[in-house]
Chains A and B, each alone.
Chain A
Amino acid sequence: MYLIRLAGRPWRRSFWSQLSASGAVGLLLILAAGLLSLQQGLGPVVVRLEQSQVLTAYLDSQVTAAEEAQTLDRIRLKLGSSARDVRLVGAEQFLTEIRANYPELVKELEALGDELPAVVPRYVSVEGVFRDNPTQALKSVPGIQGVDTSRDRYRAVIGAFHAFRKLSGILASGLAIALLTGLILLARMNHQLLEDSLSVLHFWGASAMSLRVPPLLAGFSVGALGGAWAALAWWAGAPSVHAQLVSLSPVLSGLASPPRVSVALILLAAGTLSGALSGAWGRSGKVAA
């Protein structure tokens, strides 16, 4: 019982230091959790961006208008469910699509009259998420002359996300180190506050294990409180933060939603454990007799 009473001494003597330390623990934990969560959540986004392609399959001029629908079906069959959007773009539609940006060019092409189909190719535009290289598959479809792909159109975004994911890991590690360093320094301060009594206990025959109990409990209380702050903040705020992030850009629409309860429990456990460990091992030195 007296060991527990002793453990409360840092709170009695430096209440605001303990409280602000627990707040700092909570803040560092939630920042680290946020970064790690983003790192994990961006994984599916990056995969989707890496695999998302727009394929342009040019139709052979020999393909008649009647065969166009058949060719489209063959393409759909070949690519399966990976192809989200498959559409045929004829000469007329092509001109419509580029009219706004290139009006002069459209006028010149329209002036070609019946020769227009020979100059402006027909093509099938396929948008989808493809794990493998689909160009070879498309080339094997009868009536397809050639295939282009937009495979690397998100390269810059993907690179940025990769960099951010790596940076998140580094920052989270830094936050964890800062957390432990701060807790160990706090434990040392607490140990100074307890040192006179610990030396009395040591002299009167207390075991090494008993001597660890008060600083361990003092660290535990700060860490647990910090973990509780972080858990509460996560539980209350994570869903809305996720929703705001997703609304920032369609690119982030696949951002994985972080688990609410399990992460909150992990934060509580991490705070408690780091507090207890730093309390137990953050002694300023051997207890003097």
Chain B
Amino acid sequence: MVQLSQVTQSYFGQPRVLDQVNLELKKGEFVYVLGGSGAGKSTLLRLLATEERPSSGSVSLFGYNLNTVSPQTLRAIRRALGYVPQSLRLIPDLTVAENIALSLDLAGARVPSSEARIRIADAVERLGLVALRDKRCAQLSGGEAQRVSVARALVRKPDLIIADEPSGAQDPEHTWAMMDALVRANLAGATVIVATHDREMVRRIRKRCAILKGGRLQIEPVAAGMGMGNSPVSNPGVNACT
């Protein structure tokens, strides 16, 4: 599903942000990417989300090496992604519902309008956005916008979900709702990668952790703690690490 091989990323002669990173994730895994500020979490996620190309090494998604894919294949890969970027990247002119619907419209496969309505309503409800449904995204707070961004990623039922600090501006209640939505998507078969600073969340929802330090990636076993320890996805294997 996801494979990083000897991936190095550096910008304009600066020290390497990522250094010889290897990672392999199978379908249905759930992984946290942890690390301090500037550790390279967002860079790693941007590479996985096809927003960037590595300085060296290769990133493969769904069996396609992103260094060599055609624009058409890249578009197809992106349509199978649910991405929550750190900058959120909502369209401020559109309402919450329209921003979410847009993701579904552009997903490629035609979703019947009745099913689309159900999916959008479900995403809106799960993420506590019912009251904000017809509000323009320009008028949302940071936390609200984050939830819209997550809803937008989940509504198309993607095979791979990549979320960069999705709970950074959330109160505990909404953080839990958001993680619940991500775990449900994972239970439904999606592979989920979440970059976070939130140690409490990692402790409560036990999953594999990939820790970035000095540009190198190291894997830790399932985070010990409480919460969703009995979840079927609580103990997936991370097959490769540096």
Contacts and interface: CB of A to CB of B under 8 A. Distances in A.
A5 B93 contact: yes
Contacts of A5: 93-94, 98
Contacts of B75: 205
B93 A204 contact: no
A6 B93 contact: yes
A193 to B, nearest CB: 11
B107 A205 contact: yes
A201 B89 contact: no
Nearest to B103: A204
B78 A203 contact: yes
A197 B93 contact: yes
B50 interface: yes
Contacts of B94: 2, 5-6
B30 interface: no
B121 interface: no
A206 B75 CA distance: 8
Interface in B56-95: 75, 78-79, 83, 89-94
Interface string A204-229: 11100000000000000000000000
Given A6-B93, A9-B93, A196-B89, A204 B102 contact: yes
A203 B93 contact: no
Q: Give chain B's interface secondary structure class.
A: loop
Given A204-B78, A205-B78, A197 B91 contact: yes
A200 B145 CA distance: 15
B19 to A, nearest CB: 24
Contacts of B103: 204
B107 A200 contact: no
Nearest to A204: B106
B51 interface: yes
Contacts of A203: 51, 78, 83, 89
Contacts, number: 45
A69 interface: no
B15 interface: no
Nearest to A6: B93
A30 B78 CA distance: 48
Contacts of B221: none
A241 interface: no
A5 B101 CA distance: 14
B102 to A, nearest CB: 6
B107 A289 contact: no
Given A2-B102, A289-B51, A205 B108 contact: yes
Nearest to B82: A204
Contacts of B79: 204-205
Interface in A180-203: 196-197, 199-201, 203
Interface centre among A8, A199, A200, A206 (most CB of B within 10 A): A200
A5 B50 CA distance: 27
Contacts of A200: 89-91
Contacts of A9: 93
Contacts of A206: 106
12 contacts: A2-B91, A5-B93, A197-B93, A201-B106, A204-B102, A204-B103, A205-B78, A205-B106, A205-B107, A205-B108, A206-B106, A289-B50
Given A203-B78, A204-B102, A205-B78, 19 more contacts: A1-B98, A2-B91, A5-B93, A5-B94, A6-B91, A6-B93, A6-B94, A8-B93, A12-B93, A197-B91, A197-B92, A197-B93, A200-B89, A201-B91, A204-B78, A204-B103, A205-B75, A205-B108, A289-B50
